[in-house]
Structure 1
Amino acid sequence: MIRPGKVFLSILQEEFTEELLKGLAHEFHHAGALYWLNRNQKLKALKSSDEHARMLAEIFTYFVTEGLANWYFSLSRLKLLPDVENRMERIKRLEEEMPQLIKTTEQLLEWICEHHEPIEDIRALFNSLSMDTSGYGIPAGHFLSGRMVGIMDNSNVSREEIIELVKHPFNFFDLYNKVAPENIKLNAALLEKIRSKIEEWTE
């Protein structure tokens, strides 16, 4: 993993294969994205607010960083891995579950708007997306965020608008919703509530 100020040098012991280079590209993308995200004043304000605001900041950071990195650097590398059949089965299952993954994301956002307690419920739900329990290194949220970026990328949304999400992370869900198929759109009223919360918490 590579983060600003933190580079894990175990990569120097590895042979530079195509798979490894794509993995490095993924991690270096995170470092570049976080450079810009850490300079976003509204994101900073959320991180300095209460626990629910901090969770919202974490969710937007996650969807932007993992969405961009997985769509542009990682989803295409699945075919290069030795356990292709099992991993592709995982991808197929996640594709089928995408409407439910959208509902899980809506639940996360709804709980944040409602100041749901205990906060541990929100953390546990977020972890169910962001942490992998399948053994194949594909957390559901990595898949979901990557496919959301893919839907944008395969639409009339410009590549520049997508890349600019590292500077304007709060546009992520709105930009996705503009071009997403009806059955996997996020609730528009909920996104409006989120926009209001962001303004309230960053005044």
Structure 2
Amino acid sequence: MQNGRWVQPAAAIIWVGAEEARKLRAERRKQSRLYLCRPQLLPNPRYNTPWQVLHASGSDRAFITTMGFNCQTFHGIIKAGFGSAWYSTPIPRNDVRTMGQPHPGARSLDAEVALGLVLHYLNSTMREISLQQIFALIPTTVSRYITFGLSILLMVPQNSNAAIRWPGSIDKFQSYNDLIVERHPRLTGAFASVDVIYRV
């Protein structure tokens, strides 16, 4: 009977110890979660985000620096099919039917901002946490929109007159080479260049 007296206190001590260990594990997991939640972001991804300020500037230099295209080309991609596909295609998700009707009004981003997000992702080495801040989106939405936007962007050239063409004359080759040599003096004889970014 004396041993039974110690069973309840021992069980209580074990339970308290297990609960403290669970809290400690949860706290350690929180420290390794490097992402932002809705309260740490701007209140609405459709208004006054850093990207919308950049877009409203209409600056070719800013567009090229952050997205790799000037304003005219950016809007050309929207018109070439990115915009219509963004609004007419359901975003694939595991918890909804893929053949359902799209609900573009319920999306956090319109087509222009979505293209901006995809091009920022392709044109920079920034981490997704920076994209969360620039576009005021939570991590799952950033990832889902990048994946969906990339699939649409891949289809756009197939549905347009986009093509890679050789310059039509020696004079054109030379004028393109002059432009490249002005920026990259060692690239003589070239008529085009591409910046490659390696992601680790």
Which TM-score band (shorter chain)? under 0.3
Q: TM-score, normalised by structure 2?
A: 0.24
Larger radius of gyration: 2
Larger relative helix fraction: 1
